[in-house]
Every structure is written in structure tokens, then in C-alpha cells.
């Protein structure tokens, strides 16, 4: 059974500390979900004695992505927060080591890779295998975009 609780941002660290004190001492995951306009930060903790899980979430406005770091409350949170910061652009205030974890350089678009506003550049830059060519052009109805690619991204593509 998983306990699910949404907490206000101001109560984020207190809720994590209370969950840990209640026996949910093992951190499984800290990540985020882009809900367009709001980013939901998610922490999943497990009670090692009962195997019960606790999922805590808090919502942050997409233009104010600052969340207090849980690294002072939960062992292992630092690694998860570094990845989440890099992939979603969240700033974990008070984090002991905010260096990038995965990416060698920031995305050219300036948008973190797991945000919905991030263009899937490889899908735009390369010809999609399902695009008709040669004899198939006779049967083509309408060009299809690769999954996850928006029409407005194609206007940025140079003509072939």
C-alpha cells in the first residue's frame, strides 16, 4: 500500500522529516513532473520493515523553480536532486553539491531536456524513417511528424 500526500512547498522539508520519523527511512526517488505552468516535485520513500511506500509531492510554479534541498533530511537525496535539477531546471536551495551530474553542457535551447517545452532536436534534425520517398510519394497522404515533434519546431528546420 502506498500513502500519497501532496504538501505545500513551505511544508516540504517538514513532511519529508515526518515521513522519515514514521519509519519511511529509505529514499527510493526524487524526481519531477512537468505539468505545463507547474512542476510537481515527487519523493518516494519506503519503510524497510514493512515495505510500505510513501509518496510526497509538492507543486512549484514553472517560473519559480526553487525547492528546499532534502539532503539535510534524507540520506541519498543529494544524488536524486542533482539529476532532477539538471533534467528539469529546478534549483534545490541549500544543496551541498549542485554540480551537473549527467549532461556535459547545457542544452542549446536553454530548456532542460525533460521539460515539455524542450524540442526533441534529434527527431527534428534527422529524416524520420516513416517519411515517404521515391515511389512511396505517390501513395503519400500527408507528411507525418515524428512522435513528440511539434509543427512549430519544423519551421526551424533547414530545407533538405
Per-residue pLDDT of the chain (160 residues; tens, 9 = 90+): 678 899 999 999 999 999 999 999 999 999 999 998 999 999 999 999 999 999 999 999 999 999 999 999 998 999 999 999 999 999 999 999 988 888 878 777 788 888 888 877 666 666 666 655 665 555 555 666 777 777 777 665 555 4
Whether 82 and 142 map to the same domain: the answer is no
In a domain, 112, yes or no: no
Residue 88 structural domain: 2-93
d(C-alpha 85, C-alpha 94), whole Å: 13
Task: State which of 75, 93, 111 marks the end of a domain.
Answer: 93
* Domain total of the chain: 2
DSSP conformation class of 93: E
In a domain, 68, yes or no: yes
Residues 6 or more apart from 38 whose CB is under 8 A from it?
59, 60, 61, 62
Whether 83 and 140 map to the same domain: the answer is no
In a domain, 100, yes or no: no
pLDDT of residue 70: 96
In a domain, 139, yes or no: yes
Does residue 152 come out as left (phi exceeding 0), alpha (psi in the -120 to 50 range) or beta? alpha
Whether 11 and 70 map to the same domain: the answer is yes
Whether 71 and 145 map to the same domain: the answer is no
Report the CATH number at residue 30.
Answer: 3.30.460.80
In a domain, 113, yes or no: no
Whether 24 and 68 map to the same domain: the answer is yes
d(C-alpha 59, C-alpha 136), whole Å: 48
Whether 89 and 148 map to the same domain: the answer is no
Cell numbers describing residue 96 = 551541498
Helix (H, G, I), strand (E, B) or coil at 96: coil
pLDDT of residue 113: 87
Nearest to 14 by CA among 82, 64, 73: 73
The answer to whether the beta carbons of residues 92 and 124 sit under 8 Å apart is no
* Whole-structure pTM value: 0.75
Amino acid at each position: 500500500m502506498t500513502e500519497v500526500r501532496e504538501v505545500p512547498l513551505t511544508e516540504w522539508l517538514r513532511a519529508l522529516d515526518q515521513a522519515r520519523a514514521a519509519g519511511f527511512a529509505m529514499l527510493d526517488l526524487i524526481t519531477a513532473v512537468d505539468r505545463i505552468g507547474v512542476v510537481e516535485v515527487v519523493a518516494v520513500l519506503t519503510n524497510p520493515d514493512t515495505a510500505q511506500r510513501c509518496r510526497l509531492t509538492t507543486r512549484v510554479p514553472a517560473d519559480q523553480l526553487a525547492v528546499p534541498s532534502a539532503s539535510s533530511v534524507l540520506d541519498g537525496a543529494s544524488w536524486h536532486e542533482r539529476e532532477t535539477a539538471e533534467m528539469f531546471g529546478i534549483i534545490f536551495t541549500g544543496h551541498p553539491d549542485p554540480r551537473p551530474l549527467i549532461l556535459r553542457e547545457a542544452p542549446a535551447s536553454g530548456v532542460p531536456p525533460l521539460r515539455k517545452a524542450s524540442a526533441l532536436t534529434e527527431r527534428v534534425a534527422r529524416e524520420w524513417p516513416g517519411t515517404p520517398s521515391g515511389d512511396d510519394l505517390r501513395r503519400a497522404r500527408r507528411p507525418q511528424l515524428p512522435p513528440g515533434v511539434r509543427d512549430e519546431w519544423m519551421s526551424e528546420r533547414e530545407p533538405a
